[in-house]
Structure 1
Amino acid sequence: MRKKRLFIPGLPQLIKIQSHNDILIFNEIDDRIEFCKLMSNCLEKYNVTIYGFSFSDSECYFILYSEDFESSSRYIQLLLKSYTFFFNKKYNRTGTLWSGRYHNMPFELNAYLLIVLSYIEKKNSHDEIYRSSYLYHIGKEIEPLICNILNKNFTKARLKGKEYILLNYKLVLKINHSQFFREKIEPYLNQNCLLSTMKSLKYHEDNEDKILKFHPVGRPKKHVFKFNLKENILNFERECGIYFNKHGYQKLNLQFFNKQGELSKDGTSSIISSVKNLLPDNECYFKGWYQYEFFSNELDILEEHYECGSEIIGKSSIVDEVEQIALYWEILSKFGVSSYVHLHINNVGDSKTLLCYRDSLRQYFLPYELLLSDTCLKILELTPELLLLKHPAILSDVVKLAPRMLNFITNDSYFRFERFQSLLNKFNIPFIFDKSLKLTKNINNINYNNNVFCFYSG
């Protein structure tokens, strides 16, 4: 008995069709044009939308959206049957053209459209005509037939939504294929399961009343912590919620995309906008917590991360700061990983410290202005401490002798830092006083791959 295909209303699907015994069925441009014509003609009969496509010599990928399973299934059947008839007649052959059933994978539209689209379009020579929808999506001139395929059956509202999501597509295309693509898209596609964020996965599993997540096949990999397993993330979120809610923190819902349609690289702007919506009039103090999945571009590789954290806005208190760290420590201890976590702290002063330090740096780098690019000059004017991290190689020795912030810290800051350390000791939270910690995020200082939690005080 055949396994029933996974179809979730409201979600697009990635479709993979492969030729029988790797027959070359798309290596000639005339064959690809004919397949595109059939894709367009079949759209007339069924209420189906195509987001993008890609052809190799022996397989085809396309992203398809349909309101119901019947329409999408009949569309693919008609398309494959029609192309088989054309191909057999042209090359005077008989028999099947396709290798068994097609593969399909539903996925979350807002979170994964750009990633899935870039994956299928970068698998092949995307600049070659009638090879993929790449040229269309980067806004270059394209054949009317391709435009017809990709815009047919889009309502005005949905077409506008599609354009909104694709705003950041050129940046996503620049990202190299990473472990994310190899480990997720192909295995998920072959297993016919749902590719989505954990929150959306839980929602659809409850609706469908069955397990939709990917199940690894073969000998299981060794994991250092059980905490790292994907299925424990939802449990982690629930535990965080219990602890944060108990201490008066309100849940914040952050968006995967910002208002410009760009992938969220940092939750700060989302946090601020969410807090503004929740704060009553004339109030400026807020304690909130959040969890969300986001993508960061580390070393030109798109990496998926899961972040859970808290924010206290409108007040700068040592007690509040230590309270947050104590909460994190309690949660990590519950999951048995606190012994693997090392808390590094440093005193970066206050606003008065920073003002004096920046003035000192500007004066120090003034004789070397001619060696700085326009970008570096702008940095020198606004945030000169960044020059210690981003500077021309010729100034390496100069940077080594630059003033250090520790020489400008005020007595008030020293007092606050001493109190901060005494409170950490009171809560039995081990820490390391690390003078090498910098004020700014950078790949050598705070890297999402080895950072359990990062924390910036007021």
Structure 2
Amino acid sequence: MPRKERLFILGLPQIVQLQGHNKSELFIDDDDHDYFLQCIDNAITRYGGDLHSYCLFAANALLLITPNEKENIGAIIQHVGRRYVPYFNKKYQRSGSLWEGRYKSCLVEPENYLLPCMHYIESGGMLLTVAAADYPWSSYRHNAGLTTLSRITPHAEYNLLGKTALQRGDAYRRFSQKPISHYILQRISDCIRQNTLLGMAKFCQQLENQLQGNVRPRKRGRPRKNYNISEQQLNFIETKIRLLCQQYSYIEIKLPLIQDVSLSPELLNFSMQPQRLASYNHQTILSSDGSLSCLQFVNQHSELLQGSKVWYQGPIFRHTSEQHDMLEQYVQVGVEAFGWEDDAIVAEQLQLQYELFKVLELNKEVELRINYIGSLDEFAAFRYALTTYFQPYAILFDQQRQAWLQTTPEYLLVDYPLELEPVIKLAPKLGDYLTVAAKGRFQQLQQLLDNMGLPYVVTPHLYPASHYSDILFEWHGEHIAPDSLLCRGGRYDEFMTQVMQQPSHACGFAFMLDNVIKLLVATGHRPDEYNDYKIIVIPEHHIDGALGFNVCRQLRQSFPGIAVVLDCTEQLAIKRQTNANKKRNNIIVIIHSDELNNIDLLCKEQREIGLSLDAVRARISRLIQA
């Protein structure tokens, strides 16, 4: 089978990994490190390229290089191998290959992943809370502004950290103090192992369309075409969300499926795609966003604006991508808080979301992306600048992009023809339209999230899909791309202030439960409580029916959160036991006589006999708490 061709795209940096054969050491003393770096310097000088970051550990070397040509990386590694390997073999009286096969590499989308990759490299590719400032064989001290290394060429994205070297070093030190999330570690490892591209889904999709091939890591097995979402899965996740919301003091409210927007037409602007129904006055819509229904509820109960926390669940409706005259139904759970001015409420909601993903065992499969877009006026000024800048290039845009140019020109920064990449790089930057106070507010939120231990990625091109202002956030799971969006939210204080005609503060988010369940299925995660326990009571003989009801009543009192069922069918007892035992989490209680001291307990192929009812309760309690 031919080996995979190296993926190369001009201008994109690459992570290069060299490992010792059979996990043997590549470097033993300081002279080895020095000579290896000399070989790297000579190779880059000879073949061209920019070295942005590196780290030399005993058994592996990690480099971040932007090559000038496709063959440069291979030539650089070959040059190093022809000089360093003979040096190492001669010095330590060994022979044969020093490397573990071919070097491994992956491309990096610099705008979103350059800094995380630099942190990954300077941490040695391990889960370290901070890059070691005292470790002499990495580029961390240079990038943190603590020393100067002539071999390092800063990337353009690194230069955006500040106007001076001191500012850039200080910003990078703060960034490196955050731990690398398990999600980022896993994605980088997968991309290096498969020689693919580390980037956002839309960026990868653009390159795949251009190259007519896959640039993202593949998952094991055949791609899943359909995701069958069961009622049991929905009930399980909704139960977990309800419990979390209760713990965070959010109150559930019931919202209608159909809204009469004539009651509050100004709120209709908050919805992304309102689905109108045929009616005599055309004022009736199907809910396409639970937030709209929630805002109408608050509009009718204005006292909630003074400090309330609510959550809701239910179906929403969107047009299908293939047929715009057809609707698809989705399930959404939303959480909203009104009356809290401090951004601590944002941090609390992000923590609630992270707690849910931990309960579902998905915390290593999801990524939190945040951005700060400023006030509505600041963002409007940014949009106007983009429209003015892109107007001369409008003739190059298709119909969809021309529509974006008039209403949401920021989308052009995310989805654009690759031939316009030089134009995109020179487009106005959102940060140029934010005040110093706004930037300071965002830094305070980041510091709070760091102190809480919440992993996140600042995504400059994360823009609002609705009337959000200030802070935006989204959770994504790339395993189910392009439907990777799991949760979206942010603050919308200014919108509520305009609608309510009084100073108002609001922050909220919504889970896309369909996508959350897809991610559960795609990653193969099955939480321990995925199938809730159920107690099946089976009388073995035709005994007094009241005894069976009495046992069920006492078990329900002891375990109010578990369903207890009395099997009253006419089948033989052994047949009823067999049927009940087909589900792994069924707990089977078998009554043999009219007394409560001769009960059998069967669960997960383990059987205990001759128990009293108190002993049965104790065994079940230990079982469900294990």
Q: SS at 1:84's partner residue?
A: helix
Could you say which residue in structure 1 is the equivalent of 2:391?
none
How far has the Cα of 1:164 moved from its partner? Answer: 2.3
Q: SS at 1:36's partner residue?
A: helix
Say if 2:371 is the partner of 1:265: yes
Could you say which residue in structure 2 is the equivalent of 1:132?
138
Cα gap change, 1:278 to 1:120, in 2 (>3 Å): closer
Identity across aligned pairs (percent)?
21
Could you say which residue in structure 1 is the equivalent of 2:456?
303
- Aligned equivalents of 1:95, 1:54: Cα separation in 2: 24
Say if 2:181 is the partner of 1:172: no
Could you say which residue in structure 2 is the equivalent of 1:432?
none
- Aligned equivalents of 1:278, 1:127: Cα separation in 2: 41
Write the deviation string for residues 57-108 of structure 1: whole angstroms up to 9, x where unpaired.
Answer: 1001110111211122101111122111111111111111000011110111
Q: SS at 1:14's partner residue?
A: strand
The question of whether the paired residues in 2 share the 8 Å contact of 1:107 and 1:195 is answered with yes
How far has the Cα of 1:279 moved from its partner? Answer: 6.7
Say if 2:133 is the partner of 1:150: no
**In the alignment, which of 383, 401, 410 is matched to residue 275 of structure 1?**
383
Could you say which residue in structure 2 is the equivalent of 1:25?
26
- Aligned equivalents of 1:184, 1:114: Cα separation in 2: 14
* One-letter identity of the residue aligned with 1:191: Q
How far has the Cα of 1:162 moved from its partner? Answer: 4.4
Q: How does 1:255-404 map to 2 (within 5 A)?
A: 265-268=371-374, 271-277=379-385, 288=408, 298=449, 299-304=452-457, 309-311=465-467
Cα gap change, 1:55 to 1:301, in 2 (>3 Å): farther
* One-letter identity of the residue aligned with 2:187: K
Could you say which residue in structure 1 is the equivalent of 2:74?
73
Q: Which runs of 5+ in 1 are unaligned?
A: 152-157, 227-235, 244-262, 281-285, 314-334, 356-437, 453-458
* One-letter identity of the residue aligned with 2:455: L
- Aligned equivalents of 2:179, 2:319: Cα separation in 1: 31
CA RMSD of aligned residues (A): 4.6
Could you say which residue in structure 2 is the equivalent of 1:56?
57
Write the deviation string for residues 1-50 of structure 1: whole angstroms up to 9, x where unpaired.
Answer: 22111111111111111000111222422211111111112222111211
The question of whether the paired residues in 2 share the 8 Å contact of 1:54 and 1:133 is answered with yes
Q: SS at 1:150's partner residue?
A: coil
- Aligned equivalents of 2:147, 2:87: Cα separation in 1: 29
The question of whether the paired residues in 1 share the 8 Å contact of 2:49 and 2:65 is answered with yes
Write the deviation string for residues 221-270 of structure 1: whole angstroms up to 9, x where unpaired.
Answer: 997979xxxxxxxxx99959x89xxxxxxxxxxxxxxxxxxx96223468
**In the alignment, which of 189, 206, 211 is matched to residue 208 of structure 1?**
211
* One-letter identity of the residue aligned with 1:134: Y
- Aligned equivalents of 2:132, 2:201: Cα separation in 1: 32
The question of whether the paired residues in 2 share the 8 Å contact of 1:289 and 1:310 is answered with no
Cα gap change, 1:132 to 1:353, in 2 (>3 Å): same
Cα gap change, 1:22 to 1:49, in 2 (>3 Å): same
How far has the Cα of 1:113 moved from its partner? Answer: 0.7
The question of whether the paired residues in 1 share the 8 Å contact of 2:116 and 2:180 is answered with no
Say if 2:104 is the partner of 1:107: no
- Aligned equivalents of 1:171, 1:105: Cα separation in 2: 26
Q: SS at 1:4's partner residue?
A: coil
Q: SS at 1:149's partner residue?
A: coil
Could you say which residue in structure 1 is the equivalent of 2:185?
182
- Aligned equivalents of 1:237, 1:45: Cα separation in 2: 56
Scaled by the length of structure 2, what TM-score is found?
0.41
Could you say which residue in structure 2 is the equivalent of 1:439?
505
- Aligned equivalents of 1:99, 1:2: Cα separation in 2: 16
Write the deviation string for residues 263-289 of structure 1: whole angstroms up to 9, x where unpaired.
Answer: 962234684343222578xxxxx9548
* One-letter identity of the residue aligned with 1:72: I
Q: SS at 2:98's partner residue?
A: coil
- Aligned equivalents of 1:174, 1:224: Cα separation in 2: 42
The question of whether the paired residues in 2 share the 8 Å contact of 1:19 and 1:25 is answered with yes
- Aligned equivalents of 2:496, 2:216: Cα separation in 1: 44
Q: SS at 1:310's partner residue?
A: coil
Could you say which residue in structure 2 is the equivalent of 1:250?
none
Cα gap change, 1:40 to 1:130, in 2 (>3 Å): farther
| Relative contact order higher in (CA < 8 Å, ≥ 6 apart) | 1
- Aligned equivalents of 2:47, 2:118: Cα separation in 1: 22
Write the deviation string for residues 189-227 of structure 1: whole angstroms up to 9, x where unpaired.
Answer: 10111111222212211221211122112598997979x
How far has the Cα of 1:354 moved from its partner? Answer: 5.5
The question of whether the paired residues in 2 share the 8 Å contact of 1:29 and 1:130 is answered with no
- Aligned equivalents of 2:197, 2:175: Cα separation in 1: 22
Could you say which residue in structure 2 is the equivalent of 1:94?
95
How far has the Cα of 1:447 moved from its partner? Answer: 6.0
The question of whether the paired residues in 1 share the 8 Å contact of 2:54 and 2:64 is answered with yes
How far has the Cα of 1:111 moved from its partner? Answer: 1.7
- Aligned equivalents of 2:496, 2:464: Cα separation in 1: 24
Higher share of residues assigned strand: 2
The size of the alignment, in residue pairs, is 297
Could you say which residue in structure 2 is the equivalent of 1:163?
159
- Aligned equivalents of 1:207, 1:199: Cα separation in 2: 13
Q: Which runs of 5+ in 2 are unaligned?
A: 163-167, 231-317, 326-368, 389-405, 416-441, 470-482, 515-626
Find the structure with the greater CA-based Rg.
2
Scaled by the length of structure 1, what TM-score is found?
0.54
